């Protein structure tokens, strides 16, 4: 088995694992949406509830587009209707990626808008839920509300959700990490878009290439730090997903630079 075959096997295995992760995020978002959308569905609440699923799905389609443009279709063939089609698909994906980014920001802002809960939690009824962690909600059962007696509670404005200050601060931290992480990925993909553009115009070399790779290396370090953060906290799915995305875009980077293909061609020509 040659280097190019091994490279492609690794790459498409990672893509399949990312697809499976997207399914898991859909299940997690669906569970949380039952609480966030209990009072009715609006565009803002829907984007907040399914921010992760929409984001991940859009990124998967973007990944496919980058794969097509950097590994399957030669730059000279990307013109006319094909170019418009790929750019149109990417534009739609970027709309949803930016909408999901807005969803992350909105979710963080939702956690900053709270008011003290003056009522007895046991008198609120089953319409209320308890925020145990970001995107993790517990039904306000009689047993739970008894445990909450004597603990200062707050209510999220505009939602039938209550929590205590300790869990609120933790949820805010995790929501802020999501915002920073999503913003970093937007910068990464912006650089990749520039890489693809310069490669199509035979200009991805010299100081442009060095500046792009240095900037992406810095951004990848931020993303790696986020993955380590989730791993330390025991958030295995987030850690694993972050690791897979880092690997996937690192492989796309190799596609753009053509390193694996060039190495394979060099090996075949010398044999």
Q: What is the mean pLDDT of residues 172-196?
A: 91
In angstroms, rounded to a whole number, what is the distance separating the alpha carbons of residues 210 and 76? 24
pLDDT tens, residue by residue, 55-106: 888 989 998 888 888 778 877 787 888 888 988 999 999 998 898 888 889 8
Residue 28 CA neighbour count, 13 Å, CB half: 18
The DSSP annotation for 52-77 comes to HHHHHHHHHHHHHHHHIIIIIS-GGG
Residues 6+ apart with CB under 8 A from 78: 69, 86, 200
Residue 241's pLDDT band (boundaries 50, 70, 90)?
Answer: confident
Residues 6+ apart with CB under 8 A from 12: none
Under the phi-then-psi rule, with left for phi > 0, alpha for psi from -120 to 50, and beta for the rest, what region is 115? beta
Neighbouring-strand partners of residue 133: 136
pLDDT for 259 equals 52
Q: What is the mean pLDDT of residues 196-215?
A: 84
Q: What is the largest CA-CA distance in the chain?
A: 80
- Tokens coding 186: 């937007």
Residue 268 has pLDDT above 70, yes or no: no
| C-alpha dist (Å) from residue 3 to 119, 135, 235, 266 | 66, 42, 34, 11
Can you say whether the dihedral through the CA atoms of 203, 207, 210, 216 is positive or negative? negative
Q: How many CB atoms lie within 10 A of CB 29?
A: 20
pTM for this predicted structure: 0.77
């Amino acid at each position: 088995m040659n280097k190019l075959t091994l490279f492609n096997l690794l790459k498409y295995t990672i893509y399949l694992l990312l697809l499976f992760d997207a399914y898991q995020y859909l299940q997690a978002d669906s569970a949380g949406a039952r609480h966030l959308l209990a009072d009715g569905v609006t565009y803002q609440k829907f984007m907040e509830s399914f921010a992760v699923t929409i984001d991940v799905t859009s990124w998967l389609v973007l990944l496919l587009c980058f794969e097509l443009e950097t590994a399957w279709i030669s730059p000279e063939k990307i013109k006319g209707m094909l170019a418009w089609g790929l750019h149109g698909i990417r534009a739609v994906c970027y709309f949803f990626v930016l909408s999901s980014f807005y969803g992350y920001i909105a979710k963080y802002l939702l956690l900053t808008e709270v008011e003290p809960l003056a009522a007895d939690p046991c008198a609120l009824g089953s319409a209320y839920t308890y925020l145990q962690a970001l995107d993790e909600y517990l039904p306000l059962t009689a047993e739970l509300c008894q445990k909450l007696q004597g603990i200062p509670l707050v209510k999220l404005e505009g939602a039938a959700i209550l929590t205590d200050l300790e869990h609120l601060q933790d949820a805010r931290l995790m929501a802020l990490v999501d915002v920073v992480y999503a913003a970093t990925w937007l910068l990464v993909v912006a650089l990749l878009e520039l890489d693809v553009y310069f490669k199509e115009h035979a200009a991805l070399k010299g100081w442009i290439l060095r500046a792009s790779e240095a900037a992406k290396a810095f951004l990848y370090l931020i993303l790696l730090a986020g993955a380590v953060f989730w791993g330390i906290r025991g958030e295995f799915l987030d850690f694993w997903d972050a690791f897979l995305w880092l690997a996937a875009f690192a492989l796309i980077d190799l596609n753009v630079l053509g390193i694996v293909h060039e190495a394979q061609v060099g090996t075949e020509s010398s044999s």
